[in-house]
Amino acid sequence: MVDSTTQQPRNPRRRLSGWTRRAINQLLCGGAKQNPAPSSTQQTGKPSTDNTPQEHGMLHSAQDHYSPGDHRHLRFKASPLPIGTSPALLVNATTSCKPYPPKINITCVDFLGDVHSATTYVKRDLGFQGQLGHYVLLSYGDTMYSDASYSDTWRGMTSDSVALATQNPLVVFDPVLSSDGYPPQFCPLISSFGEDPSECALGITNVVETTTPNQGIMFFLLNHRPNGTNNLMGAGVASVTLDTSEYPPVPQIQRLPPQFWWDAKSEPWYGDVCALRWKNHIYAYGHGIEGNSWVYLARAPIADAKNVDCYEYWNGKTWQTDRLDGTIIGDNASVFWQINQGQVIWSNHFNCLLFIYCDNWMNSKVLMKTAERPEGPWSDPITLYQATPLTNGSSIYAAVPHPYYDESGKTLVVTFTNHPNTIQAVRIVFT
Q: Give the torsion through C-alpha atoms of 395, 397, 402, 406, to 10 deg.
A: 30
Residue 29 lies inside a defined structural domain of this protein: yes
pLDDT in tens, 217-245: 999 999 999 988 999 999 999 999 999 99
pLDDT score of 41: 37
Domain CATH code at residue 187: 2.115.10
Is the predicted pLDDT of residue 17 greater than 60, yes or no?
no
**CB atoms < 10 A from the CB of 196, how many?**
11
CB atoms within 10 A of CB 71: 13
Specify the long-range contacts of residues 20-27, CB closer than 8 Å, at least 24 apart. Answer: 20/74, 20/78, 20/119, 20/247, 20/248, 21/247, 22/71, 23/71, 23/74, 24/74, 24/77, 26/71, 27/74, 27/75
Q: pLDDT digit string (tens) for 368-387? A: 999 999 999 999 999 999 99
Domain assignment present for residue 2? The answer is no
Task: Say how many CA atoms lie within 13 Å of 254 toward its Cβ.
Answer: 10
**pTM (2 decimals)?**
0.84
Query: Is residue 68 included in any domain, yes or no?
Result: yes
Given this model, what pLDDT does residue 39 score?
31
pLDDT at 50 over 70: no
Specify if 242 maps to a domain: yes
Domain interval for residue 352: 10-430
Domain assignment of residue 1, yes or no = no
List the one residue out of 400, 8, 15 whose CA is nearest residue 185.
8
Residue 57 belongs to a domain? yes
**Residue 278 pairs with which residues in a beta bridge?**
91, 281
The per-residue pLDDT for range 22-32, each reduced to its tens digit, is: 444 444 333 33
Query: 64 to each of 20, 100, 205, 376, how far by Cα in Å?
Result: 19, 40, 29, 41
Instruction: Give residue 129's pLDDT.
Output: 97
Q: How many domains does the chain have?
A: 1
Among residues 153, 151, 167, the alpha carbon closest in space to that of 53 is found at: 167
The predicted model gives 376-404 an average pLDDT of 97
* In the predicted structure, residue 118 carries a pLDDT above the cut 90: yes
CA end-to-end distance (rounded Å), the chain: 56
**pLDDT value at 18 more than 70:** no
